[in-house]
Structure 1
Amino acid sequence: MKELSVRTSQREEMIDITHLVRDFAKEAGITDGICHVFVPHTTCGILINENADPDVTRDILDALRVLAPATANYRHVEGNSPAHIKSSLVGCSKTLMLANGRLCLGTWQGIFLCEFDGPRHRKVWLQVVG
């Protein structure tokens, strides 16, 4: 297992970590298998989506703000209930296939750390099995 440290700089943002995951998968030396990406946090998530057009990430964050608005009748008193909800919707992990020593991603796909309660230092745990 490898632990990455990612520093976020905004309250909400999507950080492309594809290159970090790709490098780890390559270093693992596994030809065929899986690579699991996990965040041990309750206010961020891992998402796979388009990484070519930055408007896509902005649209995703905008849509999540509609689903979990900043102000609502939340019971959790810490003020970050929307972040917990967004994290639940996005999920805290993704599993990707490895073939011929490479991550199997579509042409336009990237792996994103989604920050919903930043700025913070985030951990990303990576594990390759094969």
Structure 2
Amino acid sequence: MNTYRLNTTKHSEMVDITEQVQSAIAEQGIESGIAVVQSLHTTAGITVNENADPDVVKDFLRRLEEVYPWQHEKDMHMEGNTAAHLKTSTVGSTETILIENGKLVLGTWQGIYFCEFDGPRQNRSFAVKGIS
């Protein structure tokens, strides 16, 4: 298993981690199987989505904010980040990606994203485990 750390710079952002995941699979020597990618936080998720048009990421984050606004008068969580927890549960904390011939099986426009919902933060982390 490989664990990676990253720093986020915005309150909500999506960081393309596809290269790190591919590097982990190469390092682990997995030729055929699956890669499990997992966020190690309750306010940051993992998703597979389009990585060609940056407007998709902008729209993605905007729409999540519309569904889960940061402040809600009925939220009771003392840290004030209930929206981040809801976004993470909606997006999910884990993705499973097929591996064939040592490469991640992703569509032409797909990338793997670490989704920050409670940033900016230092030393965010995610784990990658290849299974053959």
Which band: TM-score by shorter chain?
over 0.9
- Could you list the per-position Cα deviations for residues 72-109 of structure 1 after superposition, in whole angstroms to 9, with x for gaps in the alignment? 12111211111000001000000111011110000000
Aligned residues: 130
Listed as ranges, the matches of 1:69-88 within 5 Å are 69-72=69-72, 73-88=74-89
Which residue of 2 is the match for residue 124 of structure 1?
126
Structure 2 gaps, min length 5: none
TM-score, normalised by the number of residues in structure 1: 0.97
Task: State how far apart, in whole Å, the 2-side matches of 1:78 and 1:24 are.
Answer: 34
> How far apart are residue 6 of structure 1 and its match?
0.9
Q: Does 1:103 align with 2:104?
A: yes
Listed as ranges, the matches of 1:8-27 within 5 Å are 8-27=8-27
Supply the RMSD in Å over aligned alpha carbons. 0.8
Percent of aligned pairs sharing the same letter: 46
Structure 1 gaps, min length 5: none
Which residue of 1 is the match for residue 30 of structure 2?
30
Task: State how far apart, in whole Å, the 2-side matches of 1:31 and 1:96 are.
Answer: 13
Match for 1:90: what amino acid?
V
TM-score, normalised by the number of residues in structure 2: 0.96
Look up the SS of the partner of 1:27 in the other structure.
Answer: helix
Look up the SS of the partner of 2:52 in the other structure.
Answer: coil
